[in-house]
Structure 1
């Protein structure tokens, strides 16, 4: 059976290692994609560090993939061989929004733009102030310094609006931002965070919810929204209504992903790291 190179997470909370995997044969209604670009996601190192979301190992991770259609399964008629496509592989979980903590990250930038397109106002976000102009360009109405203490951020947000929030999206997911976000929630409000729930138990009350959010358009309750978003994505990009991330391509193909994930874990700002698997030695 033909094989391809693959980057495996060998075991739960283990190390990444380069190996091989059989090339998939698409079944009825399926397509085979030749992957040409892989966007590195915080989810990749979170899964490695915390051992969440994935149950079976060894595992091949990856959340943002782009390439060309290589082969069509029986009855697959929507796409043509050689057509350029973008996909989000299936893992599992849910999506929500309003105050956006961590606005300069890839997820935060997308959230700000979707909030703007959905008519939200104001859109308050936190980020390094060197990225403030770009985030305002994307649609943020207020950019607050992420280096402020939780107490200072609370006061700044209260100066913008005295109202408490029914929805908060924490694209940073840190202990400090989750607890601040929970404090800012109104009765009946909900906060979604991109890392496991870190709200202090003593803060928890029955009428405020917080949960670990992973946006997967493939699960049944998200398919209608996912289909709508991706059906309109090309037009949104062409019209510049939705602006892509600044991109930095990391060298050395699959091997380059391992040090790049360490760099991502340490913190990158306002840039999407992308690897080209076909450049592996």
Structure 2
């Protein structure tokens, strides 16, 4: 299969500018890269934030800016030195914030060491829900420096290593939360205590939570419910929501000597952080394996990801067919992404992943 010379992309032409379908050249793979025909892209909150919020737009260094992170598709060309992939392989990967590596387009390239083959049992739509959320969950739990630093369960001695050690997760039904639950289960962490809306209790338990608490309870009620489940010190709290009220709750639940994982900048009062600086650690993983300090963990996970997906130990959201967390495919290819991002920004998407198919763009 040969690469075309041009393609359709979804881009913003100026900082905080409007989205528009934009023609752009197709890149050839460089050494150690693969070129991928993108069959499905998954939408994430970071996509609208990079477009709408100045803090996040600092990630973008060129305009027009093609955004997008999660993707699945078919390898259509391989660069020099690539031995593990061939034309026709079905793959998933997580792009990055450059026009060359982003995913709101029809073709892209990416380093082969951060691309994973996918089983035939998983569709492209399902596979496109995995990369960013899985990376964020994994980095928060297993990376050193910007994570808790646990031994990953796919590494020697890591599987089941943390039996009897509790974990508290705020936001169990979020995309990141679902992967935190699955990884925590493989790591042996127990009890795994998560918050969620009652309508998502079964979903959250299916992904690995041993106990679920109604997220609408007050902070004091949630903290009390955690203590009812376990009297052991809670050394790991993962806040997959990371708004001010959840950060304060998470920090209060965290025991001395523990680590709190946040996904957004800390809103915990500085005086509290200073007072606990020797006993409570706060980390913020940047959920992308492309960065140098995250890459080794990403390489090790992507080397075994197909197997984890095949066995079902890691599940794309809708792979649990009996559960109410489907993929919703947006109409009109890249054009449909605009409305999908607006829905994410308005918090009108719950327990489902929005996916677009770039080649359906008219």
TM normalised by structure 2 equals 0.72
Asked whether 1:57 is paired with 2:30, we answer no
1:180 aligns with 2:185: no
CA–CA distance in structure 2, aligned partners of residues 196 and 142 of structure 1: 28
Match of 2:330 among 238, 241, 250: 250
1:90 pairs, out of 82, 96, 109, with 96
Work out whether 1:279 is the aligned partner of 2:323: no
Computed over aligned residues only, the root mean square deviation of the Cα atoms, in angstroms, reads 2.2
* SS of equivalent to 1:165: coil
- Deviation string 1:42-69 (CA, Å, 9 cap, x unpaired) is 2212323333261413222222110011
Query: CA 1:9/1:199 → structure 2, altered by over 3 Å: closer, same or farther?
Result: farther
1:102/1:127 contact within 8 Å kept: yes
Q: 1:78 aligns with which of 80, 84, 108?
A: 84
* Matching residue of 2:296: 224
CA deviations over 1:61-94 (Å, ceiling 9, x no partner): 2221100111122232221111111011235997
1:110 alignment counterpart: 179
Number of matched pairs: 281
Supply the distance in 2 between the matched residues of 1:231 and 1:10 (Cα, whole angstroms).
Answer: 36
> What is the CA distance between 1:256 and its match in structure 2?
0.6
Select between 128-137 and 159-168 the one with higher mean Cα deviation: 159-168
Tell me by how many angstroms 1:33 deviates.
0.7
**TM-superposed deviation, 1:225:** 2.2
> How many Å apart are 1:38 and its aligned residue?
0.3
Aligned to 2:11: 8
State how far apart, in whole Å, the 2-side matches of 1:111 and 1:77 are.
32
Contact 1:190 1:210 in 2 (8 A): yes
Distance 1:89 1:140 in 2: 29
Q: How far 1:36 moved relative to its partner?
A: 0.9
Query: Which residue of structure 2 aligns with residue 25 of structure 1?
Result: 28
Give 5+ residue unaligned stretches, structure 2: 98-131, 142-166, 319-326
TM-score by length of 1: 0.91
CA contact (8 A) 1:164 1:184 kept: no
More displaced 10-residue stretch of structure 1: 116-125 or 199-208: 199-208
Mark the CA change 1:159 to 1:10 in structure 2 (over 3 Å): closer, same or farther: farther
Q: Deviations over 1:122-141 (max 9, x none)?
A: 11111111111121111101
| Alpha-carbon contact 1:253-1:278 (below 8 Å) kept | yes
- Which residues of 2 match residues 125-144 of structure 1 at below 5 A? 125-144=194-213
What is the aligned partner in structure 1 of residue 230 from structure 2?
Answer: 161
